[in-house]
Amino acid sequence: MTNPLRVLMAASDELFEQLFREVIEDGGHHLTIFNPLPNAKAFLDEARTGRYDVAVVTNVCLPLDYSIGLIAPLRQSCSAKVIVMSGAADDKSREAARRGGAIAFHKLPLSSGIQILAAIEAAAR
């Protein structure tokens, strides 16, 4: 890895946030986590700052339709590559994420921090 990545994540669960923070920051990257459920506009405003290389949309403690609905406005708000990490990985969800502009859809749980880092680093390439 040459430069640390700046990652913006939509998540709404403290344990999940802690896991991702440890994995991503121990991997040498920067992570900002927002809970978009109470205020999607604040999440999108943060994305508009242009400070992020990768945006991760999850549905942990967020409704899947809500999370997938964030993808298109997120893509319109910034140049970050958008990936989805979700426990619900049916074809309909994958297709909706792709149509919204996500470049990858990863099924949770990913078995290791190495897989999480690999997904984020691959998205940035």
Per-residue pLDDT tens digits for 103-115: 999 887 766 788 8
CATH architecture group of domain 6-124: 3-Layer(aba) Sandwich (3.40)
The residue among 114 and 89 whose pLDDT is bigger is 114
The CA distance from 93 to 42, in Å, is 25
Segments making up each domain of the chain, as ranges: 6-124
- pTM confidence score: 0.90
Predicted confidence at residue 55, as pLDDT, reads 96
Residue 1 has pLDDT above 70, yes or no: no
pLDDT tens for residues 18-69? 888 999 999 999 999 988 988 899 999 999 999 999 999 988 777 888 889 9
Residue 15 has pLDDT above 80, yes or no: no
